Structure 1
Amino acid sequence: MADQSTLTGRIARFAKVGANLGGFAAGAAVARAGGRSLDDPRNAAELKRVLGELKGPLMKLAQILGNIPDAVPPEFARELAELQANAPPMGQGFVRRRMAGELGADWRSRFADFTPDAVSAASLGQVHRATLPSGETVAVKLQYPDMSSAVEADLGQLDLLLSLFRRVDGSIDTSQIRDELAARLREELDYTRELKHLLLYRHLLQGEGHANVPQPFEALSTARLLTMQWLEGTRLLDWKEAPAAVRNNIAEALFLAWYRPFYRFGVIHGDPHLGNYTVASADAGAAVVNLLDFGCVRIFPPRFIEGVNELYAAIESGNDRRAGEAFELWGFKGLTAEIRDVLLVWARFLYGPLLDDRVRPIDLDGRPGEYGRATAQQVHKELKRLGTVTIPAEFVFMDRAAIGLGGVFIQLGAELNWHRLFRGLMDDFDVAAVAGRQADALAHAGL
């Protein structure tokens, strides 16, 4: 019966999404027959509207695509990046049924207090605040029903979406991007894995004063329910008007929270979304950020980190041949000299603040929401002229983290010596040491 329900849910979701996207495709075709090109901004705006109405996994996938430079044509990237991965919360009846299904009919006795209304809702689930009999406040993350079916149905329709983009512009082969998004989204459905990610990051950041990671409660968690320590904090954007020293401290705490685990353990948080962290405390001396969501975590082979360093060294020395070798470590294959040079335009943009040994904004233009957009459009135009390039899976979330965090730093108006922060991490890098630490950390978390 459960299998039948899952199949029924998948078919229903597939039909709804297919009808909406099919309607968009048909409308775009009619407009094209009337003289409107597929890459017309009006088509991009209409696609954002359609996806916004569908919500769910496909909207989240499209939002991610919009934030990966060169994953989709520039006209669509701007619109998709503005999608908000949220959804109206489910009602109290749903909550009672779902909690009973996960923890048993007596689930309410496991909590001293449980707020039946969600404090936040997103594309895959919603969060409730509760109190344990011990008096500790916890966050209870509850997955929406039949999300596995919705994800599989939406992944099928993602292929239709990508085929529409290929009709606009075939210069980017998104096959590896598609596979990477599918793998990470399926992982996000498994709250048992997210609990292990929490344990992993608590291990990676132990002794670090700049970041808090909530303690999970395994006895109150399942594959579709995650109970964790409630971390008090304020929204990051509430600090936009704080003194410069405070904003800079928050930015530095975020930088270290993301990139120190990457350089020391080869692990990175793949979703630097504003809602995924809060500020625990901040003053002119130090700042502490709370990391809240660990559904999307990427574990890299240590050799990939070597590629990040090699590309830095190649740009610093102006050695284009070495840059080509570094791109191969990143996962790019069969690059011509011309395509390599175009990719270097993007690489020089990303590494620019890290090569500049002075206090400065991450982007000298400082335009929130536009970070990297003009450079990505320039690169995309040149790649379209030169031919198809396959974007490797490893690039997806590393690049997304860099762009996502860069946008946050712009929002904060942060000015730091990014060069010295980066070199402080890069200069201590050793492949063998990272491999050893990574193996120990993954074993500690049960991954």
Structure 2
Amino acid sequence: MDNEKNRFSARAARYMRVGTNVGGLAARAAGSRLLGLERDDTRMAAELATALGGLKGPLMKVAQLLSTIPEALPAEYARELSQLQSAAPAMGPGFVRRRMAAELGPDWRQRFADFDITAAASASLGQVHKATSHDGRALAVKLQYPDMASAVEADLTQLKTIFAIHARMNPAVETSEILKEISARLREELDYDLEARHTRLYGAIFANEPRIRVPEIVAELSTRRLLTMTWLNGRPLLDYKDAPLDQRNAIAQAMFTAWWFPFSHYGVIHGDPHLGNYTVFEDGGAAAGINLLDYGCIRTFPVGFVQGVIDLYKGLLRGDRDLIVHAYESWGFRGLSDELIEALSIWARFIYGPLLDDRERVIAEGTTPGAYGRQEAFTVHKILREKGPVAVPREFVFMDRAAIGLGGVFLHLGAKQNWYRLFNETIEGFELSRVAERQRAAFVAAGVPLPDAA
């Protein structure tokens, strides 16, 4: 017990030290600008990464998110931050027993037929244990680390300081809305009750889709800081990198549906499509579909934003500039010059590119997962530097992150599809009023709050 107390005390001290170090970097950046001195951004970025490197909290997830938005951070900062590790070491048996007792009471162990005290997986907010219910079901028990609300607030304070450093560098992107969006989503990830409701929402959406499996929540074994659900057996997605093309394509089609169908029909996305949030289940020894895991980062949208995404697609497909501009404005972009519209459209054509091309192809030709979007980001970076700044609306942040993440997964798989047909089949018959009706009915049934502007 003393060792665990020491670990948490060390973490608190580390946050204090990091705050001091990051604050010092901010002061130096401000001083350089005030005195007209040249700044070595590469060196300062490396110092920032060093200052943050001891943390194992949500800020590391944020770094990966920001690396997908051109100019949200200087390239040197994004590169350094993206190399930091996001995983946390699992806590020991004594910690688990105390945390489980705090959530379910002193008789918590009797509520399971079996409970593996050793974590099956660990992450930045908590860890997962495998268990068995008294009716024989295999369970995944997600247990949040203590005092994570303080850790998240500390990380958000560091993020605010990082953005403040950026703001002193004549930035091409105004980040105030980005900070609000990231803050809201990270705070939501602490609420396992909300995650349970999001899981039920996806379970209802895909109730009749055999290619996509969603875990079932066990409410009587769940709290705001403990989430118990059915365990879904499957293999890591990267196990299929060398599988026959038809199996890789089957996985890609299921993933495409898992992302685009909820968005276009209900105004909701799974906002964190990295490789660890999917496993693959088989039928007859071949890949048959995906297990969609982890509903801590779900983003819901007003139906007007969904219409804007469809409008932008149609505008790009037809070369209709007025519709393209209307779509950006419906997203929340304001005061766009011709140059900024062109910069946004370069990025939009990259994101939508495979969906505009009516042929069978890989998601991005002539590139690798690590380089996905790099050339386009460089071009956008140059225009924004010269013609910006542009204020990025909140809704754009996780939409962009999810689209980039999804494309990266398709690249890892080497899937080859007619993405144009897949997308147009998904949005066929799209009507805003029907989306609004479906969203309201499904969200209310699952207990999920409706988006503010819905």
TM-score > 0.5, shorter chain as reference: yes
Separation in structure 2 between the aligned mates of residue 159 and residue 263 of structure 1, nearest angstrom: 33
Separation in structure 2 between the aligned mates of residue 16 and residue 282 of structure 1, nearest angstrom: 52
Give the partner amino acid of 2:423: F
User: Which residue is 2:39 aligned to?
Assistant: 37
8 A contact 1:87–1:121 mirrored in 2: yes
Pair 1:162–1:356, CA change in 2 (3 A): same
Higher mean alpha-carbon deviation, 70-79 vs 230-239, is at: 70-79
User: Which residue is 2:230 aligned to?
Assistant: 229
Separation in structure 2 between the aligned mates of residue 203 and residue 264 of structure 1, nearest angstrom: 13
Q: CA shift at 1:170, angstroms?
A: 1.3
Identity %: 55
Pair 1:365–1:81, CA change in 2 (3 A): farther
Q: CA shift at 1:103, angstroms?
A: 0.3
Q: Secondary structure at the match of 1:182?
A: helix
Q: CA shift at 1:48, angstroms?
A: 3.2
Give the partner amino acid of 1:65: L
| Paired positions, count | 439
User: Which residue is 1:349 aligned to?
Assistant: 350
TM-superposition CA deviations, 1:27-71 (whole Å, max 9, x none):
8799999x873432x443443343332121222222222233332
Q: Which runs of 5+ in 1 are unaligned?
A: 1-7
Give the partner amino acid of 1:205: F
Q: CA shift at 1:10, angstroms?
A: 11
User: Which residue is 2:322 aligned to?
Assistant: 321
The 5-angstrom pairing of residues 152-171 of structure 1 reads: 152-171=153-172
Separation in structure 2 between the aligned mates of residue 90 and residue 375 of structure 1, nearest angstrom: 42
8 A contact 1:138–1:229 mirrored in 2: yes
1:52 is the counterpart of 2:71: no
The 5-angstrom pairing of residues 140-179 of structure 1 reads: 140-179=141-180
Separation in structure 2 between the aligned mates of residue 69 and residue 281 of structure 1, nearest angstrom: 38
User: Which residue is 2:401 aligned to?
Assistant: 400
1:377 is the counterpart of 2:378: yes
Q: CA shift at 1:426, angstroms?
A: 2.1
1:75 is the counterpart of 2:64: no
Pair 1:76–1:284, CA change in 2 (3 A): farther
Pair 1:89–1:331, CA change in 2 (3 A): same
Q: CA shift at 1:370, angstroms?
A: 1.6
User: Which residue is 1:5 aligned to?
Assistant: none
The 5-angstrom pairing of residues 203-214 of structure 1 reads: 203-214=204-215
User: Which residue is 1:17 aligned to?
Assistant: 18
User: Which residue is 1:364 aligned to?
Assistant: 365
Give the partner amino acid of 2:154: A
8 A contact 2:267–2:435 mirrored in 1: yes
Separation in structure 2 between the aligned mates of residue 282 and residue 394 of structure 1, nearest angstrom: 38
Q: CA shift at 1:100, angstroms?
A: 0.3
Q: CA shift at 1:430, angstroms?
A: 0.7
TM-superposition CA deviations, 1:359-416 (whole Å, max 9, x none):
1011112311221122112101211111210001111111111100001111111111
8 A contact 1:137–1:229 mirrored in 2: yes
User: Which residue is 1:420 aligned to?
Assistant: 421
8 A contact 2:15–2:55 mirrored in 1: no
TM-score, scaled relative to structure 1: 0.92
Separation in structure 2 between the aligned mates of residue 60 and residue 137 of structure 1, nearest angstrom: 29
User: Which residue is 1:300 aligned to?
Assistant: 301
8 A contact 1:95–1:116 mirrored in 2: yes
TM-score, scaled relative to structure 2: 0.91
8 A contact 1:140–1:226 mirrored in 2: yes
TM-superposition CA deviations, 1:139-181 (whole Å, max 9, x none):
0000001001111122122110111222344110011111000
8 A contact 1:249–1:285 mirrored in 2: no
8 A contact 1:63–1:83 mirrored in 2: no
The 5-angstrom pairing of residues 328-347 of structure 1 reads: 328-347=329-348
Separation in structure 1 between the aligned mates of residue 390 and residue 297 of structure 2, nearest angstrom: 26
User: Which residue is 1:240 aligned to?
Assistant: 241
Give the partner amino acid of 2:325: G
Q: Secondary structure at the match of 1:295?
A: coil
8 A contact 2:120–2:129 mirrored in 1: yes
Separation in structure 1 between the aligned mates of residue 116 and residue 110 of structure 2, nearest angstrom: 14
